[in-house]
């Protein structure tokens, strides 16, 4: 998985590319844990992500919990298949998806 970080005054966009699975999720976890200082708006762009497993959902939940304390988080460009996973797991009610 590739993670592109675009940061500008309190707003951070993470553009993800590839599969978010057991092997790649720790890298995203690390990025989320170390990048959110002073961030009030987090945008996670899933345009180039076709697959997310429970390991990836776990990281999204960690990020959402953190951002609930310090600002807002949005997920953008969600494919139909990933949207279905969000719906099945109730994540579609927790996450802000645009």
Partner 1 sequence: MKELFIEAINDNLDQVLAFVDEQLEENDCPMKVQMQIDLAVEEIFVNIANYAYDPETGPATVRVDVTPDGSVVTITFVDNGVPYDPLAKADPDITLSAEERQIGGLGIFLVKKNMDDVKYEYVNGSNILTLKKGLRGEKR
Q: Which residues bind partner 1 (CB under 8 A)?
A: 21-23, 50-51, 53-55, 57-58, 61-62, 64-65, 68, 81, 85, 88-90, 93-94
What is the closest distance, in whole angstroms, from the C-beta atom of residue 22 to partner 1 in the complex?
A: 5
**Strand 41-52 relative to strand 11-20, pairing:** parallel
**Strand 41-52 relative to strand 72-76, pairing:** parallel
Q: What is the 3-state secondary structure (H, E, C) of 29-45?
A: HHHHHHHCCCCCEEEEE
Give the residue with the Cβ less far from partner 1, 3 or 24: 24
What is the closest distance, in whole angstroms, from the C-beta atom of residue 52 to partner 1 in the complex?
A: 8
Give the residue with the Cβ less far from partner 1, 62 or 76: 62
Number of helical (H) and strand (E) elements in the chain, helices listed first: 4, 4
What is the closest distance, in whole angstroms, from the C-beta atom of residue 9 to partner 1 in the complex?
A: 25
């Amino acid at each position: 998985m590739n993670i592109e970080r675009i940061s500008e005054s309190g707003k951070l966009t993470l553009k993800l590319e590839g599969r978010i699975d057991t092997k790649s999720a720790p890298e995203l976890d690390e990025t989320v844990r170390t990048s959110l200082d002073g961030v009030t708006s987090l945008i996670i762009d899933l345009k180039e992500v076709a697959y997310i497993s429970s390991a990836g959902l776990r990281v999204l939940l960690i990020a959402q919990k953190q951002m609930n304390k310090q600002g807002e988080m949005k997920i953008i460009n969600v494919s139909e298949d990933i949207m279905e996973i969000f719906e099945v797991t109730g994540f579609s009610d927790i996450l802000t998806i645009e």
